[in-house]
Amino acid sequence: MAFVLRAFANGADGVFIGGCWLGECHYVTEGNYDALSMMHLSRKVLEQIGVNPARLRLEWISGSEGMRYAEVMNDFGKNLKELGPIGVGEGISADGLKLKFEAVKKILPYLKLVERERLRVRFKTEDEYNEFFSSDEVNSLISDVIAEKLAISQITTLLGRNPLSTREISERLSLDPAEVSRHLNSSARQGLVRYDENQKRYAIA
């Protein structure tokens, strides 16, 4: 996941992952199953920060399927042109996009922990993976656990640049003021941020 996020943070408009067909890998590690889980989680994270998850694509292509590889890459290239440059296509400024990926990078160890403890599964078919990652259980986990951690990371990353009011944070991150206030209170209790009485703004603790 770190490599995928780094590519996007460095301005890649799309990331393609290719692997052996499920059940046909020559290596006992069966890394293609792990890559499938990682792809689904990465797409969820991209969606949380406002980046189109279709910018990340995974396809199964064997070494003998040169024609299929060419067709898939041409199709992916066409899709990326339709989406436009990363950030621009989503209506996110270059600075805003940089901040979002900085925030994701900070919680990457946490994301790996959640994946290992709550999302590490082993199914036989791709359909089973798709069904699992689109389930209410996983969506609730993303919303209740990852989304909050990510929002707080974005807020602290932003405050690391300069002190800001709740309204200014809300406007910069396009978050509801009540939600920002809740995250700030939580972060203050954890000792991550403090309220500066002189500036009437929040700052890094």
- Is residue 173 included in any domain, yes or no? no
What pTM, to 2 d.p., does this model score?
A: 0.89
| Tens digit of each residue's pLDDT (9 = 90 or more) over 73-90 | 999 999 999 999 999 999
User: Of all helices (H) and strands (E), which one includes residue 26?
Assistant: none
In a domain, 90, yes or no: yes
Residue pLDDT, tens place only, 134-193: 999 999 999 888 999 999 999 999 999 999 999 999 998 888 999 999 999 999 999 999
Express each pLDDT in 129-149 by its tens digit. 999 999 999 999 998 889 999
201 - beta bridge partners? Answer: 196
Closest CA to 16 of 28, 24, 8: 8
- Confirm whether 205 is domain-assigned: no
Say if 82 falls within a structural domain.
yes
Count of domains forming the chain: 1
pLDDT digits (tens, 9 = 90+) for 7-19: 999 999 999 999 8
User: Residues 140, 134: contact at Cβ < 8 Å?
Assistant: no
71: containing domain: 2-159
